[in-house]
Amino acid sequence: MCRNYLFICAVILCLFYGRAFDINKSQQAKRVCVVGAGIAGLTSSRYLKEEGIDFTVLEGTQYVGGTWRYDPRTGTDEYGLPLHTSMYKHLRTNLPKPTMQLRGFPVPKDMPSFPSWRLYYDYIKDYAKHFDLIRHIKFLHLVVAVRRESNIWKVKHKYLPTEEEFEDEFDYIIIGTGHHSKPNMPNIPGESNFKGKIIHSHNYREPDVYKNRRVLIVGAGPSGMDISLDIAAVSKTLVHSHHSKIKFNTPYPDNYIKKPDVKEFNETGAVFEDGTYEKLDDVIYCTGFQYDYPFLDKSCELTLTPRSVVPLYKYMVNIHQPSMIFMGLVVRACLVVAIDAQARYATALVKGNFTLPSKEDMLDDWQKKADAVRSKGRPLSDIHLLAQNEDQYYAALTEESGIDRVPPVMFKIRALDTEAKLENLYTYRNYVYDVIDDETFTRHIETRSNSSCLP
Ligand SMILES: Cc1cc2nc3c(=O)[nH]c(=O)nc-3n(C[C@H](O)[C@H](O)[C@H](O)COP(=O)(O)OP(=O)(O)OC[C@H]3O[C@@H](n4cnc5c(N)ncnc54)[C@H](O)[C@@H]3O)c2cc1C
Ligand SMILES: *[C@@H]1O[C@H](CO)[C@@H](O)[C@H](O)[C@H]1NC(C)=O
Ligand SMILES: *[C@@H]1O[C@H](CO)[C@@H](O)[C@H](O)[C@H]1NC(C)=O
Ligand SMILES: *[C@@H]1O[C@H](CO)[C@@H](O)[C@H](O)[C@H]1NC(C)=O
Ligand SMILES: *[C@@H]1O[C@H](CO)[C@@H](O)[C@H](O)[C@H]1NC(C)=O
């Protein structure tokens, strides 16, 4: 009897202290791991820093800026890892500068309306300097494993020069590793017979090597459209194969040949779905990228496919493990502005400014989106599409978390820019967009200036 009593007392004491301990633990400083030092990692760092939250950034390369840093090399880097960047020499942004601006850090006044990668990369580096973020970043620390154990994130990372491995514990993890790095290959029949060279746009750097050659571009996404024009300026022919139903009115040059999808390759060229044949020297697949998180383990409870990451709440919070947040997994949006808003939302969440809905409600919300995609007969990858819902998304982020709202003028600028692209891919970058207020902007044609002389 007495022994039982003692036992019960012990259990009660344990429960009491256990709970007290938990409470203290929950009041302890939260530790946040930020993976990647591109725009996602840098904006997250800036806001976490402003809130006085304890965080560490792990970046696999020795640079900030992620994909915006051009590297003339292709393949692997000095550590044998696949090069992350997909930048090409002549790239200029495909969105005008007001939509490329990070909050509270104006782009330089003399920056052209659609800057080259170099000017934009300088701007990102200046941002990191201005907010004194560099000292928070562990460069050359590649994240190799992330797992959830005992209610904590265990993050394993490798210092590349010595291959030394570390494991640290964090309460939150913000994943900003980008999704424009791993090529999505179409696997077309007969590829291995083709005698010419086939590459993916990830490895496209400059047009010079295609001078006087017969080049096939597959795909009509932003890269496909942009790289086609870059190469058509020097190539003998530019065969553009795609099935986009969008009507592009661009006055293509005489060496531009539009084709439907490729049916198959043989040694010398490609046969298309309409039965026609074209002799080719080179092929560039502009067929998009795959989501790639080789470091995430099962305990993260996500369903990962090359084209989707689910289920996420507000396009970023891992519903099953809501202390894991993905940045920038939205498609067809002003990505820079969207990432900046997501970084503030994530920070507000860590700070405790708001709490997430219950798991059931988040799943419910997600399921509705998934059902909508399915009912349109579209693939699940569409779950990441913002498109027409972009401005509503910004409103919803603000409503839930209390962050400053991304003004509606951003979406309006993107909409007009999209129209300009459909009119003419050669001239849409001649427009200058000036923001008047949160709702309105003006547009005029850039007077011939230095910017139009840029590559
Ligand atoms: C060719 C091209 C053109 C583009 N043009 C535009 C444009 O005009 N306008 C626009 O708004 N957007 C554009 N984008 C989209 C662009 O991706 C975003 O603007 C933005 O750069 C995304 O930033 P991020 O930080 O999410 O990813 P990234 O810039 O890709 O940065 C991710 C970082 O994570 C690091 N990393 C990856 N894996 C690990 C790991 N395991 N451990 C540690 N570190 C890791 C990488 O080294 C990298 O530094 C373009 C993208 C490409 C590829
Ligand atoms: C929790 O913290 C309070 C003061 O912050 C302290 O008095 C108490 O002993 C702590 N409890 C445990 C179990 O550590
Ligand atoms: C490839 O196919 C085309 C069209 O059928 C044909 O004209 C051409 O000779 C073929 N090339 C080779 C090497 O067989
Ligand atoms: C969190 O709330 C405080 C108080 O309202 C505010 O000052 C701060 O900016 C908020 N943080 C974020 C990241 O929204
Ligand atoms: C071009 O740039 C230079 C230096 O940045 C400047 O002095 C000059 O006025 C610019 N020219 C035009 C036409 O804008």
Residue 453 has pLDDT above 90, yes or no: no
Counting ligand 3 atoms within 8 A of each CB, the residue from 195, 262, 266, 276 with the most, and so the one to mutate, is 266
Counting ligand 2 atoms within 8 A of each CB, the residue from 13, 19, 23, 24 with the most, and so the one to mutate, is 24
Question: CA 328 from chain center: how many Å?
Answer: 5
Protein residue closest via CA to atom 3 of ligand 2: 24
Q: Please report the pLDDT score of residue 442 as a whole number.
A: 98
Protein residue closest via CA to atom 3 of ligand 4: 353
Degrees (nearest 5) of the Cα angle 408, 93, 127? 75
pLDDT category at 342 given cuts 50, 70, 90 is: very high
Give burial (CB, 10 Å; 0-12/13-18/19+) of 121. buried
Q: Among the atoms of ligand 4, which is closest to the Cα of residue 348?
A: 13
Q: Among the atoms of ligand 3, which is closest to the Cα of residue 269?
A: 1
- According to CATH, where is 3.50.50.60 located in the chain? 24-182+289-412, 185-285
Are 185 and 306 within 8 A, CB to CB?
no
What CA–CA distance (Å, rounded) separates 277 from 272? 6
Residue 448 has pLDDT above 80, yes or no: no
- The length of the chain is 455
Protein residue closest via CA to atom 11 of ligand 4: 348
Protein residue closest via CA to atom 8 of ligand 5: 450
What is the mean predicted confidence (pLDDT) over 398-417?
98
pLDDT tens readout for residues 27-43: 568 999 999 999 999 99
Q: Is the CB of 403 under 6 A from ligand 1?
A: no
Nearest in space to 313 (alpha carbons), one of 349, 268, 288: 349
What is the mean predicted confidence (pLDDT) over 163-185?
98
**Two tokens at 212?**
């006087």
Residue 120 has pLDDT above 60, yes or no: yes
> How do strand 152-159 and strand 141-149 relate by DSSP bridges?
antiparallel
Q: Which CATH number fits domain 185-285: 3.30.830.10, 3.40.50.620, 3.40.225.10, 3.50.50.60?
A: 3.50.50.60
Centre of ligand 2 from the C-alpha of residue 29, in Å: 15
Protein residue closest via CA to atom 13 of ligand 3: 267
pLDDT category at 449 given cuts 50, 70, 90 is: low
Protein residue closest via CA to atom 7 of ligand 4: 51
Domain 24-182+289-412 carries which CATH code?
A: 3.50.50.60
Centre of ligand 3 from the C-alpha of residue 345, in Å: 56
Q: Is the CB of 16 under 6 A from ligand 2?
A: no
Degrees (nearest 5) of the Cα angle 397, 401, 405? 50
**Two tokens at 154?**
């265990």
Nearest in space to 145 (alpha carbons), one of 33, 55, 305, 56: 33
What is the mean predicted confidence (pLDDT) over 62-74?
98
What CA–CA distance (Å, rounded) separates 63 from 116? 19
Nearest in space to 176 (alpha carbons), one of 26, 333, 346, 16: 346
pLDDT category at 22 given cuts 50, 70, 90 is: low
Rounded to the nearest integer, the mean pLDDT of the chain is: 94
* Percent share of the chain, pLDDT over 70: 93
pLDDT category at 455 given cuts 50, 70, 90 is: very low
